[in-house]
Amino acid sequence: MSLEPLPPLRVGWIGAGRMGAAMARRLAQTGADVAVWNRTSSKAEALVADGASVAESIADLADRDVVFTMVSSSEDLEQVLVGEGGLLTAGGPVPSIIVDCSTVSTEASAAMRAAAQRHGAEFLACPVSGNGKVVASGKLSFVVSGPEEVYNRVAPLLGAIGRSASYVGEGEAARLVKICHNLLLGVVAQSLAEITVLAEKGGVSRAAFLDFLNNSVMGSAFTRYKTPALVKLDYTPTFTPVLLRKDFDLGLKAARELGVSMPVAALTQQLVQATIGGGRSEEDFSVLLDQMAAAAGLELKPETAEVDDGLGSGR
């Protein structure tokens, strides 16, 4: 994604969790005027050193030109936009454009788009592919839907945060694309866990197996990025099983509505659920590896080999 000069837009940001903070930080570091609100104010305050300012309330962002939202669920998005004290219900001005980067249902997105339009604001669905480390490395990807002319206005801001943005059409098209993406994410993660356990039980170290895989035609940015977690058994969360389950729920709901059979995704959903039922809900979804190893009677131990995550932070 080419980096054009940033437009002189005053930006508001709602949501400074793992993803939101990384994205707002990257934008603020370009010199953009970014004001951040988060329910836990200390998370917003942590971005002051990067050039952001802190909004005391959501209403303080209402006069901004563009407001980004990055929250955990459809319910959270509704709360920050149309709930008590929300961006669209504060009774004052509203931003010209709302850009929602959350992963939410198509129905919630459509409802928030309609609410924005009633109050005179444009709305873009703009979910992302990546996590905090991917953001920091400049490799985040966006998929965007809504009015194309509005997308063109904010494209330079997206370019300052990530490396690519794919415009896929009007309405909520981006929501379905992102859900399809996350269904593949879960299925690939499950398959990766299975084959890694198979190779190790046959006597091949995880580091050696994944080194081959990553350099083969089957390797990908995702398999390389997850390699350190699988080799070191480091399950520091970047994306939890609970969040992945939410996306599978959304994806399988869409499949039912559209009459699409997804047997592999349905099975993977149950395996993700098993990690949650087993008490691993707060760890990274890479714990699927432990689950497959336990089912195979294999005791995993951290390996000491140096491995590369493909993001410039490995060897």
Residues marked as catalytic: 178
Give me the pLDDT at residue 5, please: 57
* Segment 51-69 mean pLDDT: 97
Give me the pLDDT at residue 146, please: 98
Per-residue DSSP letters for 108-119?
Answer: HHHHHHHHHHHT
Q: What confidence category does residue 314 fall into, taking pLDDT thresholds of 50, 70 and 90?
A: very low
pLDDT tens, 67-115? 999 998 999 999 999 999 999 998 889 999 999 999 899 999 999 999 9
Give me the pLDDT at residue 253, please: 95
Residue 299 burial (C-beta neighbours within 10 Å; 0-12, 13-18, 19+): exposed
SS3 277: helix
β-bridge mates for residue 129, sequence order: 141
Give the Cβ contact number of residue 285 at 10 Å: 28
The mean-pLDDT minimum among 48-62, 82-96, 150-164 falls in 82-96
Task: Give CA–CA dist 132/282, Å, rounded.
Answer: 16
Of residues 76, 143, 142, the one with CA closest to residue 112: 76
Cα-atom radius of gyration of the chain, to the nearest Å?
20
Which helix H or strand E contains 164, and what residues bound it?
strand 164-169
Give me the pLDDT at residue 164, please: 97
- Residue 314's identity, in one-letter code, is G
* Segment 245-269 mean pLDDT: 96
pLDDT tens, 189-242? 999 999 999 999 999 999 999 999 999 999 999 999 999 999 999 999 989 999
Give me the pLDDT at residue 315, please: 34
Domains of the chain: 11-170 (3.40.50.720), 175-296 (1.10.1040.10)
What pTM value is reported for the model?
0.88
SS3 169: strand
* Contact by Cβ (8 Å): 124, 97: yes
β-bridge mates for residue 143, sequence order: 166
Task: Give CA–CA dist 219/214, Å, rounded.
Answer: 4
SS3 33: strand
Cα dist from 177 to 143, 145, 251, whole Å:
7, 10, 10
Is the pLDDT at 159 greater than 80, yes or no?
yes
> Six-digit token pair at 146?
């809504």
Average pLDDT of the chain, as a whole number? 95
* Contact by Cβ (8 Å): 215, 209: no
Residues 6 or more apart whose CB falls under 8 angstroms from that of 281 comprise 240, 241, 242, 275
pLDDT tens, 12-37? 999 999 999 999 999 999 999 999 99
Give me the pLDDT at residue 206, please: 98
Task: Give CA–CA dist 256/201, Å, rounded.
Answer: 38
Give me the pLDDT at residue 4, please: 54
Give me the pLDDT at residue 136, please: 93
> Six-digit token pair at 38?
């988060």
Task: Give CA–CA dist 101/12, Å, rounded.
Answer: 13
Query: Residue written as tokens 């802190």?
Result: 54
